[in-house]
Amino acid sequence: MSTELALHDIHLPEPISWFPPALGWWVLFGFIIVAIIAGFWWWQYYRSQYLQRFVLQALESVATQYQQTQDTQQLVIALSRLLRRVCLSYYPRQQVAGLTGDAWLQFLDQFLTNKPFTDGIGRVLASSPYQAHVEVDAPALLDLCRAWLRAFVKQKMMKA
């Protein structure tokens, strides 16, 4: 007695698709995106703080040397070199290296609002390195260079 039932074959469900993923995968993807953006912002901040610490440390080294020697001509030469070195690290050599006199001072004034290099105490950076005796208000010149370096680094890091 062979009675076969007329049964249909077993229909397997469709294979599980990879899209759309489960909610947990969306949360993980969002977390990864947020972590990448936060990491990028942190890296930019770290770089800007490192650069600012580095140039301000170099400026403090110049100030310490001035306090020991009280030689204003050497101070002006060292400040001029420091500012030029910082500019050369961000701009092409052809654009910065050939600047002298008023052109150099105007370039420096781009980063501050009241033109302290062409119209103020910063004017000594154009002519004083080549004079035998220099009379300058050293603390004011150091403060001006400190403000310029901070403004320069801040502007460059915002563009980077």
Residues 4-15 have pLDDT tens digits of: 778 888 888 888
- Place 1 in a pLDDT band, splitting at 50, 70 and 90: low
- Place 83 in a pLDDT band, splitting at 50, 70 and 90: very high
Predicted TM-score (pTM) of the model is 0.69
Q: Which pLDDT tens digit goes with each residue over 34-72?
A: 999 999 999 988 887 888 888 889 999 999 999 999 998
- HEC string of the chain equals CCCCCCCCCCCCCCCCCCCCCCHHHHHHHHHHHHHHHHHHHHHHHHHHHHHHHHHHHHHHHHHHHHHHHCCHHHHHHHHHHHHHHHHHCCCCHHHHCCCCHHHHHHHHHCCCCCCCCCCCHHHHHHHHHHCCCCCCCHHHHHHHHHHHHHHHHHHHHHHC
From the list 160, 156, 155, 134, the residue with the least C-alpha distance to 80 is 134
Average pLDDT over residues 127-137: 78
pLDDT of residue 62: 95
Rounded to whole angstroms, the Cα distance separating 109 from 62 reads 21
pLDDT at 118 over 80: yes
Look up residue 9 and give its two tokens. 């074959």
Rounded to whole angstroms, the Cα distance separating 139 from 48 reads 25
pLDDT of residue 148: 92
CA 38 to chain CA centroid, Å, is 17
CA 148 to chain CA centroid, Å, is 14
- Place 158 in a pLDDT band, splitting at 50, 70 and 90: low
- Place 160 in a pLDDT band, splitting at 50, 70 and 90: low
Number of C-beta neighbours around residue 147 at 10 A: 13
pLDDT at 157 over 70: no
pLDDT of residue 58: 94
